[in-house]
Structures are given as structure tokens and as C-alpha cells.
Amino acid sequence: MANAGLQLLGFILAFLGWIGCIVSTALPQWKIYSYAGDNIVTAQAIYEGLWMSCVSQSTGQIQCKVFDSLLNLSSTLQATRALMVIGILLGLIAIFVATIGMKCMKCLEDDEVQKMRMAVIGGVIFLIAGLAVLVATAWYGNRIVQEFYDPMTPVNARYEFGQALFTGWAAASLCLLGGALLCCSCPRKTTSYPTPRPYPKPAPSSGKDYV
């Protein structure tokens, strides 16, 4: 029962991490305009994501523009897009594989070892998905830091970390933790002992007793 509970906890954490990956990819607040320096207009908020850039006015009006050309984007943005999409697709595959290996499901009930292996495979795929998302968010965040401290970057063109970036880091952590818990259900190797040799049976009595 403890192993089944560990499996269920790992699956729930990994599933929540996968949902967080989708939310992080869709949100436009990957980097937010930094209000550093003098003569900065705070009546509007500027932020960019993987797919669009938006401007939010103090009146509540939001205007967004989708990035037109894929080839015109930076290599960091293209790689981050690819890694996030790969992480989401791997997470979807891991959900189906891990569901088959869950003890609360009736799939592969006749073969318990194979069922546990499916759960482990699902956990490994979750780990790979979490690593892909972690690399994507860390790469994008490192690029923001480099541009912020670059003396060639104008003060009015500097950005800071956005909410979507923190969401991506949390989602990657949940996927890694959930995948690790699923991998803990790895079937243990049973020690094989040699079959004991049967003792020789006593010879049947002839029915005659000698004194």
C-alpha cells in the first residue's frame, strides 16, 4: 500500500508539473520591462513571451502582437520554444505510460513486474521532460541576466524575470520530483536460490522382523 501511495503521489506531482509547463509556455510574461533608471514611464507595462509581446496600459487596456517571422527571432527564443514543446509532448507520453503502470489501474494485472516497469518508464520520461523544461527556462533566464548587465544595452531596454519563468521553474521541479517518485516503484530483483535436493526415501520394509 505504501508503494501504491508513493506512485500516486509521484503521478499527481508530475501531472501538475506538466500542467504548469503548458501554462508557462502559453503565458506572455517571460520577461517584464525593468523600471530601472530615471525618466521611466510607469503608466504602461511591457512584457514578452515565447509567442508574443504585450503592452498593458494603466487603464487596463492590453495590446499584444504575435511574433510574425520565425526566422527573425533570436536563437535563444527558438531553442526555448522547441524545448518547451518537447517537454510538453514528452509529458503527455509519460502520462499515458505511467497510467498503465499505476497499481490503482487494472491494466496488466496479470503481470505485476511488467506493470511496475511501465510505471518506471513513465517516471523516466517525466524526468526527461522536466530536464527539457528546466534547460529551456534556465537558458532563457540566463539570457535575460546577460542583457540586463550588458553595458551596451540601453537602460530603457532592460528586462527582468517574469511570472511565466518562475512558473516554468516550478513546473520543471514538480516533473522531476514526480518522475523520481515513480522511478522508486522499480521492481526488486528476487534472489534465486538453488532448488533443494530431495532426501532419499527409506526402503520399504519387507514385513519380516529379525531378532
pTM of the model: 0.79
Residues with Cβ within 8 Å of 100's Cβ and at least 6 positions away in sequence, in order, are 107, 108, 115, 118, 119, 122
Task: Per-residue pLDDT tens, the chain, 211 aa: give them.
Answer: 447 778 888 899 999 999 999 999 999 889 888 766 554 555 677 888 888 888 887 777 888 888 877 777 888 889 999 999 999 999 999 999 988 877 766 666 666 677 788 888 999 999 999 999 999 999 999 998 888 887 777 666 778 888 999 999 999 999 999 999 988 866 555 444 454 555 555 555 555 554 4
**From CA 27, how far away is CA 22, in angstroms rounded?**
9
Domain 2-27+70-182 has CATH 1.20.140.150: yes
- Closest by CA to 182, choosing from 110, 94, 86, is 94
